[in-house]
Amino acid sequence: MAVLIDTSVLIDIERGGGGLDSAVGDEDRAISIITQSELLHGVHRAADDRIRARRQAFVERILEALDPIPIDSRVARAHAAAWAQLDAAGTRIGAHDLWIAATALAHGYAVATVNTRDFTRVPGLTVVQVRPTG
């Protein structure tokens, strides 16, 4: 099954936690456009120019290797359904994680994440736990 790589996995890799192959094996992989935004946000939040340059280079390598999947009508429909199911169950997850989960659901992907706690709440979502190494 193809996997959608969550931001937490990429941050772990940036901090010295191996590479994508060690994180998710040889499965087909992609990222959400939300993950792209979260990674770029980290670049902008860097405390100094040296850290910013290192993060920027890392993010650009990720974006060259993995085309982000955009939010479209199919993703919006999956998002609305998952959101309603979570509300009905009295559980919520972060807005960004819900969009990432909806992208995975809409495209038939599993989500590879360090943060299994929130993603496992989403009905029908296959979650691949990645152990932090960095």
First to last CA, the chain: 26
Q: Which domains does the chain have, with CATH numbers?
A: 3-129 (3.40.50.1010)
Q: Are the CB atoms for 71 and 31 separated by under 8 Å?
A: no
Cα pseudo-dihedral 49, 51, 52, 55, rounded to 10: 160
pLDDT tens-digit readout, 96-133 = 999 999 999 999 999 999 989 999 999 999 999 887 77
Whether 27 has a pLDDT exceeding 80, the answer reads no
| pLDDT score, position 17 | 65
| pLDDT score, position 134 | 53
Does the pTM exceed 0.75?
A: yes
